Amino acid sequence: MAASSLRFVSEPAASPTWTVAELIRAATAGHAAPAREQPASETPDNAWAETLDLVERATQKVLGNERRLAELESDNRILETKLSEEIRSLHARMEATKALVQRAEAALEAAEGRANEAEERAAAAEGWLARIREQILVIRRP
């Protein structure tokens, strides 16, 4: 069985190990591994008092982080609600725009149809006008 690298300050150290207080201090400071310090001649009561103080500070940080997390989750829910409302609004606007485009396309097709009919009528009128001129020229010949 492997020996634990954790020890209390009052325990003798045969090899380099970390004390509980050093690990808690490193965890609350945000370091990946605690820097090895030579322990001052601490009494077991001081070590426990320091450890308890570190635990209290770590607890306060955890509680503060939990409050912040709750605030962020609340803000996230509010943003999700707003975004879903905006998405619904945008979908409605897109549908309205699609309807307008369809109406415009239908109006364009109708206008093109009327333009084609007008061109056909104009061509027919020009044909009649050409025939009338021919008849007038035939009548005027002496």
> pLDDT digits over 13-58, tens only?
555 566 767 767 766 665 454 455 545 555 777 888 888 899 999 9
pLDDT more than 70, % of the chain = 71
Q: Assess if residue 100 is contained within a domain.
A: yes
> Residues 55, 60, 61, 67: what is their CA dihedral angle, to the nearest 10 degrees?
150
Task: Look at residue 19 and give its three-state secondary structure.
Answer: strand
Domain total in the chain? 1
Per the prediction, the chain carries an average pLDDT of 82
Q: Assess if residue 69 is contained within a domain.
A: yes
For residues 124-135, average pLDDT = 94
What are the two backbone dihedrals, phi and then psi, of residue 6, each rounded to the nearest 5 degrees? Answer: -90, 145
Which segment of 23-32, 58-67, 72-81, 122-131 scores lowest on mean pLDDT? 23-32
How far is 102 from 111, CA to CA, in rounded Å?
14
pLDDT in the model for residue 46:
83
- Could you report the per-residue pLDDT of 85-109, keeping only the tens digit for each? 999 999 999 999 999 999 999 999 9
Task: Look at residue 17 and give its three-state secondary structure.
Answer: coil
- Boundaries of domain holding 106: 6-35+43-140
> Residue 22: is it exposed, middle or buried by C-beta count within 10 angstroms (0-12/13-18/19+)?
buried
Q: Assess if residue 50 is contained within a domain.
A: yes
Q: Assess if residue 1 is contained within a domain.
A: no
pTM: 0.45
Q: 54 near 25, Cβ under 8 Å?
A: yes
pLDDT more than 90, % of the chain = 58
Q: Assess if residue 92 is contained within a domain.
A: yes
> Residue 58: is it exposed, middle or buried by C-beta count within 10 angstroms (0-12/13-18/19+)?
middle
Q: Assess if residue 127 is contained within a domain.
A: yes
**Tokens encoding 23:** 């690990």
